[in-house]
Structure 1
Amino acid sequence: MTAQRPQEAGPAGPVPDGPLLQVDGLVVDLPPPDGSAEDAVRVVDGVSFDVPAGTTAGLIGESGSGKTMTALAVIGLLPDGAATGGELVWRGEDLLRAGAERRRRVRGHEISMIFQDPLAALNPSLTIGRQVGEILRRDGRPRAEVRRAVIDLLDRAGVPEPERRMDSYPHQFSGGLRQRAMIALALAGSPSLLLADEPTTALDVTVQARILRLLRSIQQEQGLAMLLVSHDLRVVAHVADQVVVMYAGRVAERGPAGAVLRRPAHPYTRALVASVPAVRTRTALADPLPGAPATPANRPSGCAFHPRCPLAGDRCRVEVPATREVAPGRWSACHFAEEVLDR
């Protein structure tokens, strides 16, 4: 597959009727290490979902399911050599067909990202304040105004003594403070959509809860939309309005978070929920998900989940199930979705 030829697009106007972000049939192909295009790996395969303004969508699934690559495609930070297809419609404009300069303006100002590992994402040789203020300096703001804005951003992100701590370096911050600094950096451009890639994975449970409360509070105060990438259903259940369940680069199921987690319409979602007692009930024992997860590089024929699925039949082994609406607002890519939903 070849990358789409870019064309210049004008600046974004008012948000049109409908979702803030529409992902429609998104495809991402990555070249293998030797660069042979004919062996490119389709790491994201026809992914579709919407993110309405002010809401949170949770991308969930095991490692290697394509969640992070989907988020990187949205913000335009895919690895060199990646080829894309489908549509990423932002405020009515398809970003996959926008020029490089337009994508650069969107990134940071309209769409920002909180990365999984803040220590790796932050520059170790620059102070926290300099990094948080970079996008403000690029906008040509006076130095004193930038400093005041950085102090305010760090304060809103919960960094104590922000006027003093802004002169610290990343290694002088704890893991929780580094993540708060990343949140401040992501908010600096006043975005409308915040992408959060496993934002609490490396933190202990207490700090995780604080970061999640902080993100939820900031979102509600500023009316942000958020795309939360996570493998932890407990995190997604806590903050998401809708969930998109991914497996081997494809969407297995999507719909309102509460409905999907209470009554899954795909065997994979059901297995994920059963493997996490805190999502299902407070007393039930966990039921570990059997088998090893498929990845885009070793995706089985037919339904990628069929080697691990208790309902799999001959059809599942040869026919990729279409994603279809199985209940109002509920979409599933399973030949037996209605049977799963009625269990």
Structure 2
Amino acid sequence: MLEVSGLSIDLPGRSTAVRIVDEVSFAIPAATTVGLIGESGSGKTMTANALIGLLPDGAAVQGSLRWRGEELLTATSSRRRELRGDEIAMIFQDPLAALNPTQTIGRQVGEILRRSGQSRAAVRTRVIELLDRAGIPEPASKLASYPHEFSGGMRQRAVIAMALAGSPSLLLADEPTTALDVTVQARILRLLRTIQEESGLSMLLVSHDLRVMAHVAHQVVVMYAGRVAERGSTAAILRTPAHPYTRALVQSVPAVRTKSALAHPLPGTPATPAARPAGCAFHPRCPLARDRCREEQPVLRSIGPDRWTACHFAEEVLDERPA
């Protein structure tokens, strides 16, 4: 469905451009959920925004973004607008900011339908269906409601309904549960998983929470300081991480690997693209770091079927995994 190859994004800095995303590559197959995971500042959201052209002014993009064989980076702005909503839709991190406070929920969910020329009656019927599918009770009575009249979970469901209005083939979900309590998070995740399975659409899920990935994603792309640290199937990545950063992430979340209440927080401070260390960006926090790690940037290499890692000593990391 979507092939991302060598994606790099530079933003203007005080004296020189800053590379926020550096040579990121991955693919999203049909009917598959791919997760982008990493700490804040790792470049996850910027990568997702690049897929639909929502980048800051002055951003310079290199590489390739191929949607069903069509190169998006060279597509016209009008073509990109056609794709947004109709073929590729996005669920933003903050539903309150994503919704217009001056317009009703019904009007906002039905906007893309009205643009397609459907009658008012057909739009109303479809909006009710979408709200119902998103799990909003008594949807017909909610058409005239405003965003401030909805709870956080209900607003997120309304945003999901908006994203589904154009019947997209790819859904981009940027931290869709961050602002919600644990119970509502679980409901939203179940909803997204059900929609993905029933509709057969593809989904790119951006999150810093490995527990979210464990329940929803088929494949995972681990990012650190704007680069891909590791990628592969979710089961393989979480059970046998081959990069010290991925292993540290897994060990910091007890629910991913063990029933123990103990966790091991990551030491140190995440590297930022603006102050990315030489060599492997993770080496200041890595217990396996050696001179080679400080001097030579590791390349993303295959270490098995559908499994890649950017670590000089991946085999050693695998050998150290718990029995």
Q: What TM-score, normalized by structure 2, do the two folds share?
A: 0.98
3-state DSSP class of the match of 1:209? helix
Q: CA deviation at 1:329?
A: 1.0
1:129 counterpart = 2:129: no
- 1:25 is matched with 6
Aligned pairs for 1:244-255 (under 5 A) are: 244-255=221-232
3-state DSSP class of the match of 1:86? strand
1:260 counterpart = 2:241: no
* Counterpart amino acid of residue 318 in structure 2: L
1:316 counterpart = 2:297: no
Q: Quick one: distance in 2 between partners of 1:237 and 1:260? A: 10
- 2:185 is matched with 208
1:295 counterpart = 2:281: no
Contact kept? 1:277, 1:285, Cα under 8 Å: yes
1:72 counterpart = 2:49: yes
Contact kept? 1:76, 1:107, Cα under 8 Å: no
* Counterpart amino acid of residue 294 in structure 1: A
Aligned pairs for 1:165-176 (under 5 A) are: 165-176=142-153
Q: CA deviation at 1:341?
A: 1.7
Contact kept? 1:176, 1:203, Cα under 8 Å: yes
- 2:255 is matched with 278
1:163 counterpart = 2:144: no
How many residues align? The count is 320
3-state DSSP class of the match of 1:287? coil
Q: Quick one: distance in 2 between partners of 1:126 and 1:42? A: 38
Does 72-81 or 241-250 show the bigger shift?
72-81
- Deviation string, structure 1 residues 317-341 (Cα, Å, up to 9, x no partner): 1111010001111100011011112
- Deviation string, structure 1 residues 215-242 (Cα, Å, up to 9, x no partner): 0111111101000000000001111100
- Counterpart of 2:73 (choices 72, 88, 96) is 96
Q: Quick one: distance in 1 between partners of 2:26 and 2:241? A: 17
Contact kept? 1:115, 1:199, Cα under 8 Å: yes
Instruction: Extract unaligned runs of 5+ from structure 1.
Output: 1-19
Contact kept? 1:191, 1:224, Cα under 8 Å: yes
Q: CA deviation at 1:143?
A: 1.0
Q: Quick one: distance in 1 between partners of 2:253 and 2:196? A: 26
- Cα RMSD of the aligned pairs, angstroms, is 0.9
- Deviation string, structure 1 residues 85-131 (Cα, Å, up to 9, x no partner): 00011000110111111111011110000000000111111111111
Contact kept? 1:198, 1:229, Cα under 8 Å: yes
* Counterpart amino acid of residue 45 in structure 1: D
Q: Quick one: distance in 1 between partners of 2:45 and 2:230? A: 17
3-state DSSP class of the match of 1:96? coil
* Counterpart amino acid of residue 220 in structure 2: V
Q: Quick one: distance in 2 between partners of 1:235 and 1:340? A: 24
Q: Quick one: distance in 1 between partners of 2:271 and 2:231? A: 19
Q: Quick one: distance in 2 between partners of 1:135 and 1:300? A: 45
- Deviation string, structure 1 residues 153-181 (Cα, Å, up to 9, x no partner): 00100111111111101000000000000
Q: Quick one: distance in 2 between partners of 1:280 and 1:334? A: 22
Q: CA deviation at 1:204?
A: 0.7
3-state DSSP class of the match of 1:191? coil
Q: CA deviation at 1:342?
A: 2.1
1:228 counterpart = 2:196: no
Contact kept? 1:26, 1:48, Cα under 8 Å: yes
Q: CA deviation at 1:284?
A: 5.4
* Counterpart amino acid of residue 320 in structure 1: Q
Contact kept? 1:57, 1:241, Cα under 8 Å: yes
- 2:305 is matched with 328
* Counterpart amino acid of residue 224 in structure 1: L
Q: Quick one: distance in 1 between partners of 2:217 and 2:319? A: 24
- 1:192 is matched with 169
Q: Quick one: distance in 2 between partners of 1:152 and 1:284? A: 42
- 1:9 is matched with none
Instruction: Extract unaligned runs of 5+ from structure 2.
Output: none
Q: What TM-score, normalized by structure 1, do the two folds share?
A: 0.92
Runs of 4+ in structure 1 deviating by more than 3 angstroms, as ranges, are none
- 2:214 is matched with 237
